[in-house]
Amino acid sequence: MKKLIFLLVAMSTLSQFSLTAQDKTYPQTEPMKPGMSEWWVPQPKKVTPGVINQQAAITAPSDAIVLFDGKDLSAWENTKGEKAGWRVHDGILTVDKSTGDIRTKQKFENFQLHLEWMVPEDITGTGQGRGNSGVYLQGMYEVQILDTYNNETYSNGSTGSIYKQSAPLANVMRKPGEWNVYDIIYSAPVFKADGTYRIPPTVTVIQNGVVIQNHTTILGTTEYVGFPRVVKHGEGPILLQSHGDKSEPLSFRNIWIREL
Ligand code: MG
């Protein structure tokens, strides 16, 4: 009898414990909104860049892989792996927003990337809706392209930001209709077996001869809503963004890369 009572008491205690565990509720995580990962102050200080040759800032060195030399898009494809649809004309490449992002067919690890970009002189729109594009390193991490010559936005979404992670050290924009130059030095991440970073990716960005990201640690994927995520990956393409804003499409030229 004593054994039976002990058993009944034990069972009752156990079931109470499991009920308690099941019934306990915790607060729901609040849904993230885009503005929660945007900051506006301080704004990047304005720096007037030195004079560059508006014909082509610097042509490809002998060991570079030329990704766009003004002639064709043979090094590029759309994100379905089909022919890239952007418009090649007059030695430049203009975004065609109806055809989406484009990426290099070749994939890369560590590199030095040179590219030049220009928002049209008659650009319209405000904030993020004014000449928005971007360069995705290894197809994962966006260095922002935007017309911020006379256009404020959240600092960590400004031109040369690691989008929503790291604001640029300065605003070195040339005015619409003039070419901007990006030189990007990128070190790919090294992953642990569990998929987290052993060494996170880092990037240095020079715009028009001025350092705007100085060996910046990239925290993870580029997210419009929420926090960066760490996603294990290998080599990846250079991807150029076709942004969904309504402003006039921008153009690129003189794109080359050196593997490091
Ligand atoms: Mg962008």
Asked if 200 and 219 touch (Cβ cutoff 8 Å), the reply is yes
Query: What parts of the chain have a pLDDT lower than 70?
Result: 1-22
Q: How far is the CA of 129 from the centre of ligand 1 (A)?
A: 9
Q: How far is the CA of 222 from the centre of ligand 1 (A)?
A: 10
Residues belonging to the chain? 260
Give the model confidence (pLDDT) of 199-221 as tens digits.
999 999 999 999 999 999 999 99
Q: How far is the CA of 244 from the centre of ligand 1 (A)?
A: 9
Alpha-carbon gap, residue 245 to 49, rounded angstroms: 27
User: Quick check: helix, strand or coil at residue 97?
Assistant: helix
Q: How far is the CA of 64 from the centre of ligand 1 (A)?
A: 26
Helix, strand, coil: what percent of the chain each, to 5? 15, 30, 55
Q: How far is the CA of 241 from the centre of ligand 1 (A)?
A: 6
Which residues are registered as beta bridge partners of 133? 145
Token readout for 109 is 């690890």
Q: How far is the CA of 247 from the centre of ligand 1 (A)?
A: 13
Q: How far is the CA of 146 from the centre of ligand 1 (A)?
A: 7
Tell me what pLDDT residue 7 has: 45
Q: How far is the CA of 243 from the centre of ligand 1 (A)?
A: 6
Go through the domains of the chain in sequence order and give each one's CATH number. 65-259 (2.60.120.560)
Tell me what pLDDT residue 29 has: 85
The DSSP line for 68-98 is: E-SS--TTEEETTSSB--PEEETTEEE--GG
Q: How far is the CA of 27 from the centre of ligand 1 (A)?
A: 34
Tell me what pLDDT residue 52 has: 77
Q: How far is the CA of 5 from the centre of ligand 1 (A)?
A: 69
**Cis (ω within 30 of 0) for the bond into 42?**
yes
Tell me what pLDDT residue 157 has: 98
Q: How far is the CA of 163 from the centre of ligand 1 (A)?
A: 7
Tell me what pLDDT residue 21 has: 54
Residue owning tokens 């260095």: 143
